[in-house]
Structure 1
Amino acid sequence: MIKADRTYFKNLYLTNREKAIDSASKYIYSKLLNDIIPHWYGTEWDFNGHTNIPNNGEIACGYFVSTTLKHLGFNLNRYKMAQQAGLLEARMLQPKSELKMYSNESFKSLKEKLNTIYANGIYFVGLDNHVGYVLIKDRELYFLHSSYYDDKVMIELAEQSPCFDSNFYVFAEISTNRKLIASWILNERLNVPSN
């Protein structure tokens, strides 16, 4: 189904690039949030987990992100992506100059900054020793991740998540990232940055 949907967006892209990216952005947001990630809720966490099937085996935080992106149709090696530090994973999705990085921020300050620069959408987040997604919806931050604290894939308010506490945060846009959406439409390969 995703392959057929991508063909639709690719044909639209050839005639109306802006409309194709706008429509595909909404599609990616909805598909990831409502159709792909929910199947993973409750899947057991393990530091070395790398299952490709929701609720069948275990999954680490990096593999949760890379596998769900792969299932969404992004052209990437889920193993190579998952084995990177959060900053490199973020750079697979967005150029370093466009990433948002914060150090030693209170949650309140971080939330205010994110709501100033980002719209409702799904974002990748890399932390000191963890990765996941942040959903910004109506100015609230939700953390979607394979939790080493609760030992499962879950969604929770970021403010209440022990796993969201970090000295360092790096954010990459996903559903609002026009270059990434175009890469998805065109099935371009996302590679680990070499420098």
Structure 2
Amino acid sequence: MTLAHIARRAGVGRAAVVNWRRRHDDFPPAIGGTEESPQFDPGAVDAWLRAHDKVSEEPKPKPPPPPALIDFGGGCTVTMRGPSLDPEGDELVLGGYVDQEWEPNSWPYARFTAVLPSGERLTVDRAHVDLKGYGLGHWRYLRLTWDAPPPAPQPRDHRSARAEEHEEAFYTDADDDPRPAPFYRSDPYAAPTDGEASSHDGRLGGPALDW
């Protein structure tokens, strides 16, 4: 086990391992190699790293994503490993790995129904089928491409267009009206002031009053 191997095991750089070797008398001695590239006993190194709390826990590998089941009809089905559904411009693409021996029953376009890992069921009437090896051993990459559906229309405001036009015309007419706005008196029997009498011109529907 070299210094580089120890560094990777501890999750540090090689220089840090060199410093440990110099500063700690109990660091495992070299069992071979050269002064520039010494070799160490893996068991002794691992025990020393654990004793000094310098072990970097290796992340656990993530489980592979669930497969998707693709049914092309006529008894032609395939299990797609590592499926992904992604938009590409105006198209949608479903891609993943299938067994090397599998062949589609329709080419280059096909209708299919897919059960995705999420449980969603997807049916496409016409998709372009592309199947390539890419040197993947016993795996091949299946790519299904089809036109994306148009976006759903946005819901309109609850008010009708007629109501909006009426509202716009109302405010426009009010803004263009040169007459002063009507006033309302808290006491209709009290004598108006000079300003109130001059401004009231019968806009409320009756004739102007001469007080």
For normalisation by structure 1, the TM-score amounts to: 0.20
Higher fraction of helix: 1
Higher fraction of strand: 2
For normalisation by structure 2, the TM-score amounts to: 0.19
Which of the pair has the greater relative contact order for Cα pairs under 8 Å at 6+ separation? 1
